A and B are shown apart, each in its own frame.
Chain A
Amino acid sequence: MEYAVALIVLLCLVGLVVMRPLLAGAPESPDGGAREELEAAKEAKYREIRDAELDVQMGKLSKEDHRSIDRELRGEAIEILERLDRLDGRAPDS
């Protein structure tokens, strides 16, 4: 008896929680989460650029190597920033 009552009560409580979005309709962000992903990618790219800077300052990378790596990484970072701009409905900076 205790088991049956507890099970019914618990299932009702779970039902209340999980059914709410179905009844209310899910709030959906217009970008479908792409902004968060791009922001994370941007931070990761920044970290890579800073890592390369630290490497050249510590003498692990030659200035020549760093220049080419840095150019490539900055190009990728700018691409991410342009995609973020497009999400905001702005034309990418030329």
Chain B
Amino acid sequence: MAGIGSACLFAGLLTAVYAAGASLYGVRAGNAAFVISGRRAIYCLAALMLGATAVLQSAFLRSDFSYALVAEGSSTDTPTFYKVTAMWATQDGSLLLWALLLSLFASAVLFLTRRSLRGIAPYATAVLAIVAGFFLLLMVGWENPFGTLANPPAEGGGLNPLLRHPAMMIHPPMLYTGYVGFSIPFAFAVGALITRNTGADWIRATRRFALVAWTFLGTGIMLGALWSYTELGWGGYWAWDPVENASLMPWLVGTAFLHSIMVQEKRGMLKIWNVCLIIATFVLALLGTFLVRSGILDSIHAFGASTIGVQFLVFIALVVVGSTALVISRLPYLRSEARLDSLLSREAFFLLNNLVLVALCLVIFWGTFFPLISEAVTGTEASVGPPWFNRLTTPLALVLVLLMAIGPVVSWRRISPAGLLRAFMWPVLGALLTLLVALALTPAGERPLALLMSCFAALVLAVVVQEFWRGASARRTISGDPWPRALSRLVARNRRRYGGYIAHAGIVVLFLGVAGSSAFLEQRDVRLSPGDTFKSGGYDITYERATATLGEDRAGSGAPITFGAVLRARDEDGKTFTLRPSRNFYPTQDASKGAIGRFFEGEATSEVDVRWGLRRDLWTAIRPDISALEGPIREANAKFGNSSGDVQALVIAALAERYRRDPAPATFRAIVSPLVSWIWIGGGIVLLGALIAAWPSPEARLRRVRSLYSARLGRDLRAEPS
């Protein structure tokens, strides 16, 4: 079967080369048959990548350790869910995932544009084929996921325990879908530049793909944060880690792109800016993939050193140089069709929002690559930590939230100062009321930046509510519909606008969660014996007893041994509840640890227990001290090293029971994080807004039917689109 997988990859590489060649020849020679043939080659590429993925997945599910990748990243005792997802935990497998997603996205967009963009689409096909070809070349030449072992081991190394978390296994495909999705507007932007067709056609054809990519990337980032919060055992959700930053940068620039393309669609402005943004987004997406895999920056996420770093860098450099040269050569065709009528216009505020988003990206870029830059300049590696990032990004985030409040109330082209004041009166009153309530009822006054953020967030939420209310009122005036119907038809008729407002509401809810949890977090690290009590953030927490279980970890990650604790917590109101933080121990394949010791001395992961709440979370983790077992483990290794598996299991059970009955003091971390749940809720609201905005509008669905009748303008505009 491995031969079939390798054949799929090589056939895929040849197909991608053919797709690029046929498309370019077809469009240059005016031969539509070659263009269609090139497009069909992309469909074939998707089929080949699906075939390759099926072969590899089958090997993982069968635990076929003759595949080097399966032997490295899976084992017979890895739960089935994690066997399925283990493919993208490895470098070779994640390259295959990139190629698969890219071929599927490319097929979808080329199918949807098969009757339009005749000039641009063939060039876009060629660009997408070249990108896919690069990833296939990496796999065929250096990192073949179908590499086999002459002497397969009886047991595999197993999936990295840190990755045995549901969020973490969905997180990489989400991120990759986001990265790959941005290659679609990039490819069409290149096509538009080559053909000098720099209007909004390429944007209209690919806007929805950009939005889908943005949504997936954002969801992937959120899942990564959730994994960090619940799995890594340090209690935070964002550490400004290089790989986290690498995913945030294309998302930020992609956000700027999604806003600024509206200006090009509506006013024919910002053409240079838009092509630069999408090129930057795509390059940052490539850089994100490169950072995860290259290991050039220290990161908890960089799983394994790479052999393809140089190839990645060369490809990124080619993309940057080629795209920049193309933009420069097409500058005369990228002139704005209109001028900014007023600084009090939506396009002006979109531009400001873009500048802030790009500034945020630049700050993060500098902080992320500072260790490399300092090493290159001074010879010593220096890095910047979270305080540096927080100090620079917080003011920018505040400005961004303020702009989110102003942008929606300002109309295109211009708004009078009086109109702006009128539109802002109620939201400003709402924000002031929030300020007073926050000062009176919460400790927000001690943290001015958090207070300012809550005030601006209230302004944004009030603006969003006002926009819905005013829109629905206007509809009621025209149609006489009851409120719920007026509201639903308003959203259905203007999905992009109101979906965007919902996304804005989600972002500020998320920012509120970040502000509250980072400004008012209380953390305590204590060492306790059973019966001891400590206080943290208004809770009395008692370590009741130790636990030790075999093969019963709550997360279903397949850990054979779990040591933990039962904690009894009581809040200020006297309400009590139980928390059960634990630590999973995974066996190592290192024979020097002994037949019994290898179960206790392999990797260990924290299984935190969180009391989730809208007002605050109580987060707990334990680090059990099993040093008292070292002596008995040594004895057991000597005595039962050659015994049967059943006997060894009994010995391990006896050692675990010994810890349970007489545990050494354990180290606990308890964190009380106010409002942290609003981060996840905000993320969910953003997702909902993005889905509404991306959903095809009734106009789009009816376009084909209407086109048959060549409707006239006035009648079309009077007609209800649904």
Q: Which residues of A contact B (CB under 8 A)?
A: 1-4, 6-7, 10-11, 13-14, 17-22, 24-26, 28-29, 32-33, 35-37, 39-41, 43-44, 46-52, 54-55, 57-62, 65, 69, 74, 77-78, 81, 84-85, 88, 93
Contacts and interface: CB of A to CB of B under 8 A. Distances in A.
Interface string B1-44: 11110111011001100100010000000011111111011011
A6 B8 CA distance: 8
Interface centre among A7, A44, A58 (most CB of B within 10 A): A58
A81 B709 CA distance: 12
B340 interface: no
Given A22-B34, A78-B713, A55 B412 contact: yes
Given A19-B37, A50-B493, A62-B416, A40 B699 contact: no
B33 A14 contact: no
Nearest to B467: A58
A9 to B, nearest CB: 8
B412 A51 contact: yes
Contacts of B31: 26
B35 A26 contact: yes
B331 interface: no
27 contacts: A3-B3, A6-B4, A7-B11, A10-B8, A10-B11, A17-B41, A17-B43, A18-B40, A20-B40, A21-B37, A26-B32, A26-B33, A28-B32, A29-B115, A33-B115, A33-B117, A33-B118, A40-B703, A41-B200, A43-B699, A46-B713, A51-B494, A52-B411, A52-B412, A59-B470, A61-B415, A74-B713
Contacts of B8: 6, 10
Given A17-B40, A60-B410, A37 B32 contact: no
Contacts, number: 149
B265 A54 contact: no
Interface in B707-722: 707, 710, 712-713, 716-717
Is chain B's binding surface mostly helix, strand, loop or mixed?
helix
Interface of B: 1-4, 6-8, 10-11, 14-15, 18, 22, 31-38, 40-41, 43-44, 48, 51, 115-118, 200-201, 204-205, 265-266, 409-416, 419, 422-423, 467, 470-471, 473-474, 477-478, 493-494, 497, 699-700, 703, 707, 710, 712-713, 716-717
Contacts of B2: 2
Q: Choose among A37, A41, A74 the residue with the greatest number of B CB atoms under 10 Å from its CB.
A: A37
Contact of A46 (B10, B494, B716): B716
Contacts of A17: 40-41, 43-44
B6 A14 contact: no
B365 to A, nearest CB: 34
A76 B620 CA distance: 62
Nearest to A11: B11
B349 to A, nearest CB: 13
B474 A54 contact: yes
Nearest to A2: B3
Contacts of B710: 84-85, 88
Contacts of A93: 712
A17 to B, nearest CB: 5
Contacts of A54: 471, 474, 494
Nearest to B496: A47
Given A18-B22, A40-B201, A77 B116 contact: no
Contact of B474 (A20, A58, A81): A58
